[in-house]
Structure 1
């Protein structure tokens, strides 16, 4: 870890002030999920659960999956794919984010099962969108890719 801190131009103390361990560089565990749940809370009255999820996916594109962060995200996903321990950590973070979506939808008054189904569909759409966005041209924005993935997931679920 000292090597990581030095290569980043930081002292060990500064590194640990920002990150609990070296994995936190990839997972930012201390961040809140406000960027994801606030758009659900702010969705217009009468929005369906999936409309609210779509707003959250748009927010993810604006806050996390930005063109400037794209090179980091591509490298991050490659590192995670090559490391089973990091895959497990990524899966746990995904579960936590999905639970945040469920909670946000429940606070809007949607029934538990409806909130869970919408959140799971949103999480699946997000995963599909991330895979596609990483493989796409650098100038492609995440939001439209995520919206398209959500539409496809919703249509596929209707055919089950």
Structure 2
């Protein structure tokens, strides 16, 4: 087996260690793929924000709306410390928390706020809210609005 010849130092082709060397086509494709990945993730998140009120919103619905597979959708969220469903639930809880603390919505019942943000039932919402914020939504509302229990 013949020994590999080394390229002479001045053969004109850029070396990876050279300053100003252009990235290889493989690296350029990978970089473009990451940009596309970020753009798709932003579109997915915008779609979810527009459809948070829908209790039927699921990874399958989101994937179908973006012409991607459910597994690819999960891969998009893999590097963001949560699953798709957990991110949706977190967004719904945050919007509901803001509504509960809003003085203009103080007469709207808690179960209506829960339904407004896509929670199918009051009990489900109360459990999720308590697990996330440490107290039931009713108590949170009273605390946030400064009214007595």
Task: State the TM bucket, normalised to the shorter chain.
Answer: 0.3 to 0.5
TM-score (norm 2): 0.33
Name whichever structure is richer in helix by fraction. Answer: 1
TM-score (norm 1): 0.31
In terms of Rg, which structure is larger? 2
